[in-house]
Each structure stands twice: as C-alpha cells, then as structure tokens.
Chain A
Amino acid sequence: DQQVKQNSPSLSVQEGRISILNCDYTNSMFDYFLWYKKYPAEGPTFLISISSIKDKNEDGRFTVFLNKSAKHLSLHIVPSQPGDSAVYFCAASGGNFNKFYFGSGTKLNVKP
C-alpha cells in the first residue's frame, strides 16, 4: 500500500526548458514533504522541502508546490540543465520525523 506515489517513472526534457515532476499522496496526516535527488551508485541527497503550512517553497532553480486539497506536490526545475539528470524521489512525513514514506522515483533526463 503505497502512500506516496510518483506515477511517471521517467521524464525527458530539453536543456533550458522546465522540468515538472509530480507526486501524489493518500494520507491527509502528512504535513512535511521533501524531494531527494539520486545519481547512480550514490545515496539520495536532500534537495528541497515544504511544510503543509505553505504552498510554495523556492530555492534557486528548484520550486516545490503543494496542493493539500488535491494531496499533490510537484517539483519544478527551471531552467533544466544536463546535470539535473537523475532520479528524483518525493517523500512525506506525518510529523513523526522518524518515519518517512518515499515514492518510487522519477528518472529525469535533460537532453543537451
């Protein structure tokens, strides 16, 4: 029973354009959301987060949007760069920070 879902296993985008990665969750108790980036043969690295009191958080080229009513969040990367090519995981927590639920990941390919 996956509580966090990333329905697009892969995404291909041209360099300089916007990448939009989507994530849906089912548990209304989730109040903290994160995105991780993972390169092959490396562990995931934290990218950006958002709490449920906000609907947008921006950090440089990365912006995360949260739509609580739709239980949906998205990560926007603008402009996309070839170095952004990686697998992106979204994760959610219900305030108990020792347990996180991860999506299955979306593999982003940014073409030069």
Chain B
Amino acid sequence: GAGVSQSPSNKVTEKGKDVELRCDPISGHTALYWYRQSLGQGLEFLIYFQGNSAPDKSGLPSDRFSAERTGGSVSTLTIQRTQQEDSAVYLCASSFVQGVETQYFGPGTRLLVL
C-alpha cells in the first residue's frame, strides 16, 4: 500500500549549504506534520499543515527553516545555511483528520551536516 514516503532517505551536506527534504503524504490526508529527532532526543515538533489553513510554524527552531505544502499534498522542508546541529532524522507524518491516533509516519530522512 502507499504509505507516507520521504526523500532522500539519507543526505550528507556541508555546513552552510541549503537542503530540501521532501514528504509525500498518504493520498487524501489533509494534515501533515514535520518532526525532527536529534540523537538521544525525542521527536521534536516542527510544523503542521491542515488543509488550506495557515500552517502552525511554532516549532521551527530558526528562520533558516521553512516548509511548504503545494496543492495540499507534497511538502518540502527547506533548511538554509545548514549547521552541524541540524543533523538529525527528519520525520514527516500525515493524517486524514486532525488527530494523533491516525498519524502515519514516513521512514524519515537522515541528515548529516559535516
């Protein structure tokens, strides 16, 4: 079945470069979430999209982070001028309705900033 997919699965970049992480949610899911998991930490909420509403960006750690969701489907998380502390696994999840039980997570993108 078509679950949440994320690309790339792994990304190695140099400090100061920009990266784009992609999330393809499950078709028809209106809610989309981005999380980050740093080494030894829990999942850190980054941003939330729900339908056509303005996204909740309250979890973005700095203005170097931004995210878009085009056409209510695919989402791109962009990190500008990457820093070593940005190294983490970035997880995307989607749900049909706003709610936690129905969240389906993708496999994540492992980002390493050298």
Chain B, interface residues (CB within 8 Å), range: 20 to 34
Cross-chain contact B100 with A102 (CB below 8 angstroms): no
* Complex interface: chain B residues within 8 A of A44 (CB): 43, 91, 105
Interface SS of A by simple majority: loop
**Least Cβ–Cβ distance between A75 and chain B, in angstroms:** 15
Instruction: Determine the distance from Cα of A41 to Cα of B106 in the docked complex, in whole angstroms.
Output: 10
Instruction: Determine the distance from Cα of A43 to Cα of B93 in the docked complex, in whole angstroms.
Output: 9
| Nearest CB in chain B to that of A6: its residue | B42
B40, B98, B102, B103: the one contacting A104 at CB < 8 Å is: B40
Q: Which of B12-20, B44-52, B65-73, B74-82 is near enough to bind chain A?
A: B44-52
Chain A, interface residues (CB within 8 Å), range: 20 to 34
A-B contact count (CB 8 A): 63
Q: Which of A14-22, A77-85, A93-101 is near enough to bind chain B?
A: A93-101
| Nearest CB in chain B to that of A90: its residue | B42
The answer to whether A74 has its CB under 8 Å from any CB of chain B is: no
The answer to whether A49 has its CB under 8 Å from any CB of chain B is: yes
Instruction: Determine the distance from Cα of A68 to Cα of B77 in the docked complex, in whole angstroms.
Output: 36
The answer to whether A30 has its CB under 8 Å from any CB of chain B is: no
The interface bits of chain A over 1-31 (1 if a CB of B lies within 8 angstroms of the residue's CB, else 0) are 0101010010000000000000000000000
Binding site for B on A (CB under 8 A): 2, 4, 6, 9, 32, 34, 41-46, 49, 89, 91, 93, 97-105
